Amino acid sequence: MSNVDTSVAGATDRAGGHEAAAAAGLLSGLDEQQIARIRRIGSRLFAVAGCHLYWYGVQPIATGERSMAAIESAFCRELGPLRELRVVPDARADAALAAHRSVVGAPYIRFYAGCPIFNDSGVAVGALCLIDYGPRAFDDDERQLLADLAAQAERELRLQELGAARIDLLKKNKSLRRDSLLDPLLGTWNRAAIARLVAVEKERCDGNRQPLSLILVGVDGFKSLNERLGQPACDTILVKIASRLRSCIRPGDALGRHIGDQLLVALPGASHVVAESVAERMRRAIMLPPELGDAGASLTVSAGTASSNLFPDADAEELMRQADLALYAAKEAGRNCVIQARPALA
């Protein structure tokens, strides 16, 4: 066995064979353009009829094709997974291949050389093979070149796996960032996120010369409700309230938990008239059956609205302050009502 054979065999022994690759689900391989490039290099570098690269456990798509390339590739696959570099100078003189149908019959393959391809964990996941139709010698220099070409395929495979891992990491990071912006109980935006969204929408609406309206909704008598029913029951009520409020707004509107039982809604492009109408719809939605938890039909909400067309000089923070003042006014007015912030209230 040559030095190249020994080094490849040693790497395969450490890898534990191709079965581990299948178990680990590492059979994705390279794309067609990368495979075609490596095949072209192999065919011209070694002056052989065919160069093939394939993955263990991944079967080619059945097309009914009987081209020479398809037959050669099938021949390579039929030899089974490689655990080391293998060279057959003359298939007719090889005990294992002499009776093979592609050797004794068309297309009369005579020469074969193959080298396993390893992933980043040292597991054999595929092979790079050479096919020719005349017997030929294959010296140590050529064996090294074949091992080098297989190593190039390995590097491209690792780059692809790194790219896939990076995409997966970006998706996970995006999911984590989104989770950090959500209220864990209600699944709405949390306080920091809704405040940031209000600021962004205020700037955008100002740029488009559109109004921005806010609705701040609070559960009437929530403190006594919490004392009477307990926190778990009140948490359930808040979840159901958030769901009903969400059903009253458009997909482009934003709903977030402001403080405790208060939920803040941002309505880009909505005037004070629209905001008041939406807030009233929300108030009525909370009173509709089925009853929310054990609170019964007595459960109500109050709401305060603030609109930039009534407060043209207000920034996002001031607009939220006006909505808070309006909610406080609604509570003072007897609850279960909607109060719209107007300059006179300030």
pLDDT of residue 285: 93
CA distance 91 to 101: 11
CA distance 223 to 110: 87
For helices 231-246 and 272-287, the axis angle rounded to 10 degrees is 130
Q: pLDDT tens across 90-122, in order?
A: 999 999 999 999 999 999 999 999 999 987 778
Q: pLDDT tens across 51-102, in order?
A: 998 888 766 655 556 788 888 988 998 888 888 999 999 999 999 999 999 9
pTM: 0.53
Domains and CATH numbers, the chain: 3-176 (3.30.450.40), 191-345 (3.30.70.270)
pLDDT of residue 293: 53
Residue with the larger pLDDT of the pair 41 and 172: 41
Q: pLDDT tens across 21-39, in order?
A: 333 343 445 567 888 888 8
Residue 70 DSSP one-character state: H
* Buried-state track 277-307, b at ≥16 Cβ within 10 A, e below 16: ebbeebbeebeeeeebbebeeebebbbbbbb
Q: pLDDT tens across 284-312, in order?
A: 999 876 555 555 547 899 999 999 999 99
CA distance 217 to 48: 77
Q: pLDDT tens across 202-261, in order?
A: 999 999 999 999 999 999 999 998 888 899 999 999 999 999 999 999 999 999 999 999
Q: Does 192 have pLDDT greater than 80?
A: yes
For 26, 123, 153, 156, the CA distances from 120, given in Å and listed in that order, are 10, 7, 12, 11
